[in-house]
Amino acid sequence: MHSAGPSPGPGKRESGLLGAERVHEARVVPGRMAGVTPPTPLERLVDLLDLETIEVDIFRGKQPQESLQRVFGGQVAGQALVAAGRTVPADRPVHSLHAYFLRPGDPSVPIVFEVDRIRDGRSFTTRRVVAVQHGRAIFHLSASFQLVENGLEHQRTMPDVPGPETLPTLQQRMQEFSSDTDGWFSRPRPIDIRYVTDPPRILREQPGPKEARSQVWMRADGTLPDDPLLHVCAVTFASDMTLLDSTLLTHGLAMGTDPVMLASLDHAMWFHEPFRADEWFLYSQDSPRTGGNRGLAHGEIYTHDGRLAVTVMQEGLIRVVG
């Protein structure tokens, strides 16, 4: 289970992100016998983020045991950030990433992540990661890490919205459409999603103009180990789940229901505050522009107590088919 390969150097993450002990802690739930009860969706996500070390700065990521046409963008981004983080001292948290989706990923074969140590400065560390399948790059990520420093601070105020405890789960909200898209809305997920605004599938049925804005509460559906990089990678995974939907809302379209093709082109994140992915966070999303078969989406992630923890930008390919 645990990755094989050379030991990390001094000051590095001693067992890597999700080392053997951490993965064991995340996957074995009290009252459950390991190997008897199938793992939960969150346990499978933790396992997915546990990369295998195959050489110095080269890692291999497994694929989920699901029937997929292509690799989910949040998965490859989260795995790439794991690869980058394993080569950086633990006292330097990631503060930004910029990524491009180059080719559709093949979900039937593992992904190899090659890390290039671009710079190790006194305050900042920069890593470049290329994800490879079948000898070709499918994804490229640059990430920057920084020693924690104090300085000027200000932030935008979190939107005033109902708390997540007062809102139905996605499965409850979408029960009427549970048979749509091969039961996609009713499937168990590693991320608990609760819409503040109407989900796209419901919104499209409503008459009148629609705003290009969406708000959801999210959290990992279970408890995660106390590894800050794991929480960052889990939120990176989740950040790609609903963001591009905002580019379709004004047009009354919903992915999986209408004949529209949606694919991520690039993805950028700025991490402002430490947070836990297994505690509620508000993901406020909007789309300032759609045109030229591309849509631009913007997101802000707030902790439950109102701290702006992450800012997200993404551009996606949008093609109406037929």
Active-site positions read 240, 264, 314
For the four alpha carbons of 133, 106, 315 and 185, in that order, the dihedral sign comes to negative
Q: How far apart are CA 52 and CA 23, in angstroms?
A: 13
C-alpha 173/C-alpha 308 separation (Å) is 27
Q: In 3-state terms, what secondary structure has residue 231?
A: helix
Q: Hey, how many other C-beta atoms are within 10 angstroms of the C-beta on 183?
A: 10
Q: What radius of gyration do the chain's Cα atoms show?
A: 19
Q: Is 305 left (phi over 0), alpha (psi -120 to 50) or beta?
A: alpha
Separation between Cα atoms, residue 130 and residue 58, nearest integer Å: 10
List all residues 6 or more positions away from 229 whose beta carbon is below 8 Å from its beta carbon: 13, 17, 81, 82, 85, 90, 93, 94
Cα dist from 180 to 13, 174, 187, 205, whole Å: 44, 10, 11, 14
